[in-house]
Chain A
Amino acid sequence: MKKYLLTALIAVSSPSFSQETDSLMRSLSADSSQTPVIATFKSSRLILSQTTTMVRKGDLDFKVVHRFGDIAGSEGGSETFWGLDNSSDIYLNLEYGISDRINVAFGRSKFEQLLDLQLKYALLQQATGGSPVAISLAGKAGFTPYEVTTRVFDDFGNRFSYLTQAIISRKFSSNFSLQTAPTLLFRNVVASGGDEETLFALGVAGRYKFSKRFGIVADYYHVFSSYRDDNPNIDYSSPLGLGVEIETGGHVFTLIFVNSKAIVENNFIPNTTSSWADGQYRFGFTISRMFTLGKSKSKPTNQY
């Protein structure tokens, strides 16, 4: 018995050098700090939704977003080359990273000629060993600069709308990310009686990557509005989009089909009347190009 004990003790008390080095390495490189989860989404925009993904400090994201005309239904078909002859909305947007956590964006839509200015703040970052979700807060002011003939929008002040939302995302795996965005839209004046000036909407969007640079995206908004649910004259629909996302170095392309004509929340939350069931869905795309400003490119070095 004693002999066994002795053998065991010797075995324990004199580990090989390699094991000793290994365990020392383990103790030295044990990382107690949290590691932030990155690249929850490839871009700050999916189809309808904005994401928790931020434009990094000093970077400028230029986006061109396009929505064509109805593919089917009364306005679609071969006569309009399945909608490609028309554009229901065109949106140009510049988003700049003031810091890694604060982004400012300016955009212009064809739809209602809406101008919008937005601030987005990354409140919380998802991290392994830390928060399970990321939260970004966005506030957007929209303004339609041109008078329209309905008389109620003649006044300058009547043409403002304000959007505020909390975007909550989680990257479940390197392939799968999901987010939801409780949203409030406030319009200074609405066109018809009974329409709510303050609308609550909930966005749900997700991405599943099939390869490192290719994935499918889905995006949905539900607007909680009794005016819209019970309206006998206008059939309102919930915006729903499906598509693919492709990343090529500095660009992210999104190729999608969606029923809503408008691109910006201030337009599509109150005004989506086109329906998938009636063939009123369209092709659309987003091109996002990231520019690095303010920092010099990594310069070639001769230190080798």
Chain B
Amino acid sequence: MKSIVLVILLMFSYKSFSEDAAKFFISKSIKTTIFSEAPLENIEATSRTGVAILNTETREIQFNIPIRSFDFAKKKMQEHFNENYMESDKHPNARFKGKINQAIDLSVSGNYNVSVTGDLEVHGVKQKRTISGSIKVAPGSVAISSKFDVRCADHNISIPRLVFRNIAETIRVTVSGSFTPYNPTQS
């Protein structure tokens, strides 16, 4: 009997815990820009439909960016990006799973310069990375921004010698977005 009470109590406590509205902050409109400067032409593309979650208690942060959502001015380039470089049919998403290194209190408003350590998965290849960025906490919202470089070779993205002059070997990535509190009953 005692144990049943204990079970009920445990379940109850877990329930109320997960309903804590401010625990997760989410965004479904993360803006990610990739940019590379190459001798013949610069390459630039933007995705605006990345998904991200920030766990304010554990300071975990996760990103999921659909490769197909990157929009290029040149559609042929976009096709090559998906078909020849990123192989988005096999690896549809770029992901980052990490944790904020600084012990900041994400319930307190302010601007924080932080670094995040975790796995960056691009083209199906995971790399342990520490990436710096900034977090702006305001009542009811959190905004993040970061820029970092991704080396194509680190993620087995091969650039054929025939076209290498067109494509830089390092891609500059900028990520930004604002998060709102996650309310499970609304979604």
Q: Are A174 and B89 in contact (CB under 8 A)?
A: yes
Contact of B174 among A3, A9, A304 (CB under 8 A): A304
Main secondary structure on B side of the interface with A: mixed
How far apart are B89's CB and chain A's nearest CB, in angstroms?
A: 6
What residue in chain B is nearest A292 (Cβ atoms)? B74
Interface size class of B (residues with CB under 8 A): 35 or more
Contact of B55 among A17, A174, A297, A298 (CB under 8 A): A17
Please name all residues of chain B whose beta carbon is closer than 8 Å to the beta carbon of A10 when the two chains form the complex.
7, 10
How far apart are A291's CB and chain B's nearest CB, in angstroms?
A: 9
Q: Are B6 and A6 in contact (CB under 8 A)?
A: yes
Stretch at the interface among B39-47, B103-111, B129-137: B39-47
Contact of B76 among A14, A213, A290, A299 (CB under 8 A): A290
Chain A stretch 12-50: residues in CB contact (< 8 A) with chain B:
13-14, 17-18, 20-22, 24-25, 27-29, 31, 35, 37-39
In the bound assembly, the distance between CA atoms of A268 and B90 in angstroms comes to 39
What residue in chain B is nearest A211 (Cβ atoms)? B160
Please name all residues of chain A whose beta carbon is closer than 8 Å to the beta carbon of B83 when the two chains form the complex.
38-39, 174, 212
Q: Does A295 belong to the interface (CB within 8 Å)?
A: yes
Q: Are A3 and B42 in contact (CB under 8 A)?
A: no
In the bound assembly, the distance between CA atoms of A158 and B10 in angstroms comes to 89
Q: Are B182 and A59 in contact (CB under 8 A)?
A: no
Q: Are B73 and A295 in contact (CB under 8 A)?
A: yes
Q: Does B112 belong to the interface (CB within 8 Å)?
A: no
A57-B75, A213-B160, A297-B73 known; A249-B7 Cβ under 8 A: no
Q: Does B21 belong to the interface (CB within 8 Å)?
A: no
Contact of B7 among A9, A35, A59, A213 (CB under 8 A): A9
Q: Are B44 and A298 in contact (CB under 8 A)?
A: yes
A25-B64, A28-B51, A29-B93 known; A9-B73 Cβ under 8 A: no
What residue in chain B is nearest A30 (Cβ atoms)? B51
Interface size on A, residues (CB 8 A): 45
Please name all residues of chain B whose beta carbon is closer than 8 Å to the beta carbon of A31 when the two chains form the complex.
66
Q: Are A56 and B147 in contact (CB under 8 A)?
A: no
Q: Are B68 and A28 in contact (CB under 8 A)?
A: no
Per-residue interface assignment for chain B, residues 1 to 38, with 1 indicating a CB less than 8 Å from any chain A CB and 0 otherwise: 00110110011001000100000101010000001010
In the bound assembly, the distance between CA atoms of A263 and B141 in angstroms comes to 62
Q: Are B73 and A296 in contact (CB under 8 A)?
A: yes
In the complex, besides A29-B93, A249-B163, 20 extra interface pairs with C-beta distance below 8 angstroms are A2-B3, A17-B60, A21-B55, A24-B182, A25-B62, A28-B53, A29-B51, A29-B64, A35-B92, A38-B82, A38-B83, A39-B82, A59-B75, A174-B87, A174-B89, A250-B76, A298-B44, A299-B44, A301-B44, A303-B174
Q: Which residues of A contact B (CB under 8 A)?
A: 2-3, 5-6, 9-10, 13-14, 17-18, 20-22, 24-25, 27-29, 31, 35, 37-39, 56-57, 59, 100, 174, 212-213, 247-250, 290, 292, 295-301, 303-304
Q: Which residues of B contact A (CB under 8 A)?
A: 3-4, 6-7, 10-11, 14, 18, 24, 26, 28, 35, 37, 41-45, 51, 53, 55, 57-58, 60, 62, 64, 66, 68, 72-76, 79-80, 82-84, 87, 89-90, 92-93, 147, 160, 162-163, 166, 172, 174, 182, 187
